[in-house]
Amino acid sequence: MDAELCAEDCTMAQDPSGWDSPRPSPGVLKFGDEPLITEGNDPKQVKLLLEQGCVITPSAILAACYQSESDTLILLLDHDSPGPNARPEAKLMGASLACKDLPSSDVALLLRRKDSQYYPLHFASIGMRSEFKEGHRATMNVLLRYKPDLFAEFLQPLWYDADDRPGAYMSDVGELVCVESDSDDEWYELSSDGEMPKIETKYAARSLFHVMLEDGALVEPILNCDGLDFDVNRRDPQGRTLMHSVCRNALGADVHADVESYEIREPIDGRFIANEGTGPSLFEIFHRRGGDLQARDYRGKNVLHHLLEARSLRYERAQPPFIYNTFKYILQHLPELVNSPDNHGTYPLHAALNRVREITFPTVWQKFSPIEQVVKDLLDAGARPLEIDSRGNTALHYLADSGLGERTDREPRRALFRFFCEAGVDVNARNHKGRTAIELFLDNHKVNEATLDVLMYLKDDNGGPRVQIEDDLLELFEASGARWTDVDPKGQTLLHWVARHNPWYVRSRAYYLLKRGVDPRAKDKKGRTAQDVAEAAGNNTVAAVLRGWLVRTAKSQMADQA
């Protein structure tokens, strides 16, 4: 069970006899009901149990850290205990993908926040409740006195991001789905016929301090611990230095050190950004300690890549990490990194454009976490607009897949789209999957279609109706030179792509394409017309439009012949 799921009050529950009885503590729920865990909140009782010969298990130490029981932790560590690096034996099956395999694969590999192998220091830094921050600090300070291994390694399950690049979710081989269970993750590959054969769970090796930095855990006690020295350029199994992990911090490299991820769940102000009153930012701290800003990890990614790939995975629609001050510093002092790709040919510009794709509701974040402005800054710093990524995607592929029409603040993204077109990016270019920007746009599903149905009744920023937004977007591609009648390598027209979806706006899209000369009778390589695709998908709206168009066309031809 994850730490977040156990973070709940010890409330009262009714037992079958009708009497109120306290629920087990989160530590008991998570680590078991050993005496040293059940009595962990009472140091006197813990001392008595130890005097009676109670054996200290790794679970007891982890529970004390998790529940911020610093006095109990001192008793345990001063006794005959497994020490500050104690963990129960890991029971991970099929850990076949070691860290050395990661650099060879050009795929976004997210690392799940599974805590089954966490060390005591990690549990102490996140604890079970956000308001227990002082307890987290006290427990960490206790552990640090006993010299825990900051770079102890452990395994975490891999999570393949099926939407890591433009159009990636349409992979012909299907997408990997992770089915959560009470123990380890069970992996399935969803094939085209809907079957879900189980495949092997895969893991990657992690380093404790690197992970704490990346997850946004409390690290201030480590940084201020007297006599604790560490190599600031120490690499983890993926080749990331501590500076790389700072840049990937879920809160952002701009935050001060005395902050943890729980605190930043809701606020969208800048109070966590480092300033004269709070002290230096995480980036400044590690930079002053000699962090190498030129270093690359084993996949060839530099600090700019890591800054722009930083995400908060704890909460859906979380505040994007605060990175802008660090980002501007790097542009000013290391401009050579701007056009420096990783081993697979992905440039910082592509990482910035992917950030535009992934941040779904950017308006409220823009003041402290600029989105489109970061792309503009890279271009101003000399980023080459015509570069394609390792999968053949141009800048227009990224922007077409970023929900140009699904947000009321779409204009900054449209402005970027126009800029790249004017810079010479070919709007009709196909990526390595054979897809153009307009195909990605027509197939884009960044926002739930039920939400879009509601948005039909709203107006855009300038007061125009949503239907007009659709026409304006298609005109944007028209002005950029989109070839409407092209077919993809599978013989599909743009009408085939529209026919896959059934929200309210597909009617206007279908009519627009028909007026631009897209043939509704054209068949793909499977012999299907767009109407066939629509009917198979239950898309009655597009099917009706296509049938009606064919009927009217036939009548018009008969009238002309008469």
Alpha-carbon gap, residue 526 to 316, rounded angstroms: 39
35 has pLDDT over 80: yes
Q: What is the pLDDT of residues 493-532, one digit of tens each?
A: 999 999 988 766 788 889 999 999 999 999 999 999 999 9
From edge to edge, which strands make up the β-sheet containing 186-190? 175-179, 186-190, 198-199
Lookup: tokens for 503: 């929200």
Query: Residue 172 — very low, low, confident or very high, per pLDDT cuts 50/70/90?
Result: very low
Alpha-carbon gap, residue 397 to 386, rounded angstroms: 12
Please say whether the beta carbons of 165 and 391 come within 8 A. Answer: yes
266 has pLDDT over 60: no
362 has pLDDT over 50: yes
Widest CA span in the chain:
107
Alpha-carbon gap, residue 250 to 151, rounded angstroms: 19
Nearest by Cα to 436 from 387, 481, 385, 375: 481
The average pLDDT across 191-205 equals: 58
Q: What's the pLDDT score for residue 182?
A: 39
Please provide the distance, in angstroms rounded to a whole number, between the alpha carbons at the two ends of the chain.
Answer: 75
Pairing of strands 153-160, 203-207: antiparallel
Q: What is the pLDDT of residues 396-452, one digit of tens each?
A: 999 998 877 655 567 888 899 999 999 999 999 999 999 999 999 998 655 434 344
Please say whether the beta carbons of 144 and 95 come within 8 A. Answer: no
Identity at 277, one-letter amino acid code: G
For residue 281, list its beta bridge partners: 256
Name which of 1-10, 27-36, 366-375, 539-548 the model is least confident about: 1-10
Q: What's the pLDDT score for residue 545?
A: 93
Please say whether the beta carbons of 306 and 358 come within 8 A. Answer: no
309 has pLDDT over 90: yes
Measured in whole angstroms, the distance separating CA 282 from the mean position of its chain's CA atoms is: 21
Q: What's the pLDDT score for residue 275?
A: 81
Contacts for 75 with CB less than 8 Å, ≥ 6 apart: 43, 46, 47, 50
Q: What's the pLDDT score for residue 209?
A: 97
Q: What is the mean pLDDT of the chain?
A: 81
Pairing of strands 109-111, 20-22: unpaired
To the nearest 10 degrees (0 to 180), the angle between helices 506-515 and 540-561 is: 30
3-state secondary structure of 155: strand
SS3 annotation, 427-469: CCCCCCCCCCHHHHHHHCCCCCHHHHHHHCCCECCCCCEHHHH
Q: What is the pLDDT of residues 211-257, one digit of tens each?
A: 999 988 999 999 999 888 899 999 998 899 999 999 999 889 999 98
160 has pLDDT over 80: no
Alpha-carbon gap, residue 21 to 473, rounded angstroms: 61
The average pLDDT across 150-159 equals: 84
Walk me through the domains of the chain, giving residue ranges and CATH numbers: 484-561 (1.25.40.20)
To the nearest 10 degrees (0 to 180), the angle between helices 70-78 and 58-66 is: 160
% of residues, the chain, pLDDT over 90: 51
6 has pLDDT over 70: no
12 has pLDDT over 50: no
Q: What's the pLDDT score for residue 487?
A: 97
Q: What's the pLDDT score for residue 236?
A: 94
Q: What's the pLDDT score for residue 404?
A: 77
Q: Which of 57-61, 104-108, 171-175, 356-360 is modeled with the greatest confidence?
A: 57-61
Query: Residue 453 — very low, low, confident or very high, per pLDDT cuts 50/70/90?
Result: very low
Query: Residue 88 — very low, low, confident or very high, per pLDDT cuts 50/70/90?
Result: confident
The average pLDDT across 76-102 equals: 69
181 has pLDDT over 50: no
Distances in whole angstroms, Cα of residue 319 to Cα of each of 130, 409, 460, 493: 17, 17, 24, 39
Nearest by Cα to 340 from 374, 372, 293, 373: 293
For residue 156, list its beta bridge partners: 204
Q: What's the pLDDT score for residue 381?
A: 98
Lookup: tokens for 135: 């307890």
3-state secondary structure of 152: coil
Nearest by Cα to 469 from 456, 479, 481, 451: 456
